[in-house]
Amino acid sequence: MIEKFEVLITPFSLKRMIHVYLPDDYYNHQESYPVMYMFDGHNLFNDQDATYGKSWGLKDFMDSYDKKMIIVGIECNHEGNQRLSEYCPYDLENSFFGPVRGQGKQLMDWVVNEFKPMIDNKYRTIPFRECTGVAGSSMGGLMALYTVIKYNQYFSKAACISPAISICQEQLQNEFRQTDISRDTRVYFSFGTREVRGKSGFNWMLKNISWFNDEIVKLHGYSYINVVKNGRHNEASWEKENPVYFDFLWK
């Protein structure tokens, strides 16, 4: 089942819709569940809520998946380029999109200090980091990677799907060098072959992702790169990855 409610993101003084998936029998017993926090919550469960009319189909997938958990989807800021700012951890003077005032750190500080405790109080979660993951696509995929690096004491798993790493590759690498991740950390990366142009585009994307993959493995974490044949940069393609990243992160 899907529940929706609004919260106030206090650092931005903005209300935001939250989409929560619960197992269908959630209210019939007292079992507690792992939690996956996901960006762009409006695109996760129902086509009618999705920006482009196609969701990830996560409700149908989770209804049949053999590991029950809670999915918490946080909507993005839909105003202008505010999604780009919220989902970028760093200020950028020059980017493909022009100057960016990064608000990603403020967003995640709010998540770990205010929002996650609220979710743990509202629902029967297993609150420990070993049972807490994060996921997203594109800029949300970048944020998932940033989150599992910067906030590894709260999140042990991340699905970084078609991540927009290149927008702040150098800053994120420096962040990683200053961070000590736990050995049980699991990170899933993916990108589609039809997201990039030609062999040079493919090699460029693979190189960007491989740096983080290799560094995670050096620290005895677990990392997996899924190159999706004919995969595109859209929800229909990402939906097909649901069983792959859930199995890698949670089994």
pLDDT reported for residue 31: 97
| Predicted confidence (pLDDT) per residue in 180-200, tens digit | 899 999 999 999 999 988 888
pLDDT > 70: percent of the chain: 98
pLDDT reported for residue 197: 84
Mean pLDDT, residues 7-25 = 97
* CATH label of the domain that carries residue 28: 3.40.50.1820
Alpha carbons 200 and 198: distance in angstroms, whole number: 6
When divided into structural domains, the chain yields a total of: 1
The whole domain housing 64 covers 2-250
pTM over 0.85: yes
| pLDDT confidence band for 78 (50 / 70 / 90) | confident
User: Does 120 score more than 70 pLDDT?
Assistant: yes
| pLDDT confidence band for 95 (50 / 70 / 90) | low
pLDDT > 90: percent of the chain: 86
pLDDT reported for residue 222: 98
